[in-house]
Amino acid sequence: NKSLNYNKGFEDFPETSEPVWILGKEYNALTEKDEILSDVTSRLWFTYRKNFPPIGGTGPTSDTGWGCMLRCGQMILGEALMCRHLGRDWRWVRGQKQREEYVSILNAFIDKKDSYYSIHQIAQMGVGEGKPIGQWYGPNTVAQVLKKLAVFDTWSRLVVHVAMDNTVVIEEISECGCVATLYLSVFLLLSFKSITSSNVTPAHWEMALWKPLVLLIPLRLGLSDINEAYIETLKQCFMLPQSLGVIGGKPNSAHYFIGYVGEELIYLDPHTTQPAVEPCEDGQVNDETYHCLHPPCRMHICELDPSIAVGFFCRTEDEFDDWCMRIRRVGLSAVLFCCFPVYSS
């Protein structure tokens, strides 16, 4: 059993009685450091890569300097795929032969043109969003690209919905072969406008009663700096069991935020350049470089750029209903809130 020495280099993590929240899981920083590090290390860590096949045949062979938000998009979607196929409680063990589902997830992100969510696919799909290959993305652009790419992933069969104008509208939810119409009023603090669910059409649902839902909500929480009125609500997003975290960071420097402790956000940083990985002949992937083996990075929440995208994953319709209930409860208990209705057409 090759376990990591989690305590080595972990001395700077806050010695605090305040809870540590990681993607809907609560930990005690004083007594559960091993568990915190095991959870963080089990998240997929996508970084800059070099020496991969040229994007588009003649384009870049590295995304260093421009691909950080694309890599953050990979991480938030990778987390959704992990929850979809392995479950939130799955843990990575270094050197252990991995499950077939895990290997399939990794192969969906390998840096080559025919992987579902490779840097090649994201960069080329971004051209349709007005972003030339090699240009930095914002959170909304990468969310829109992931929505388009997910349509081709017939194995995971996800529906990625990007809530534009902060409105989530869920329409025509199938239950027991019938189309049920759902009307909900949901409050969320993070916006001045309403959330509406989406372009989720019967074609997206095919024959399934429910397709696992990835909900990405681009938000702007201030002008040049984050408005402190939103900080507590942003923290509560990490407490929801459906949390996929947040993509954002600082101007032109993106991070994948997976939790918080006190006033600090916990994040995975894509700004490390590693060699591209080639799968083995048997399909297995040398996966150590896809997991962050050092203690997680932290930054004060007030340093966050106000342009972010918040992610949630609802594997079942019941989980979505639970998300709606929790959002309503958060809003109603808040001192400051804005109406964030979720409704059907």
User: Tokens for 153?
Assistant: 């992933």
Give the N- to C-terminal CA distance of the chain in Å, as an integer. 53
Q: Which of 39, 63, 68, 324 is catalytic?
A: 68
Angle, CA 41 vertex, CA 290 and CA 11 arms, to 5°: 130
Percent composition of the chain: helix, strand, coil (DSSP 3-state, to 5): 30, 20, 50
Q: Is residue 136 within a helix (H) or strand (E), and if so which, with residue range? A: none
Number of residues assigned to the chain: 345
Q: Comparing C-alpha atoms, which of 106, 115, 173 is closest to residue 149?
A: 115
Q: DSSP letter at 213? A: E
Contact between residue 335 and residue 189 where contact means Cβ atoms under 8 Å apart: no
165 is catalytic: no
Q: Taking the CB of residue 123, how many other CB atoms lie within 10 A of it?
A: 24
Among the options 269, 292, 314, 324, which is catalytic?
269
**CA count, 13 A, side-chain hemisphere, 60:** 20
Cβ contacts of residue 321 below 8 Å, gap of 6+? none
Q: Which residue in the list 34, 85, 153, 271 is annotated as catalytic? A: 271
How distant is the alpha carbon of residue 42 from its chain centre? 14
Q: How far is CA 76 from CA 117, 126, 182, 267, 306, in A?
A: 12, 17, 27, 11, 18
Provide the β-strand partners of residue 234: none
Known active-site residue 300? no
Q: Is 314 a catalytic residue?
A: no
150 strand-pairing partners: none
What residues are labeled active site? 68, 269, 271
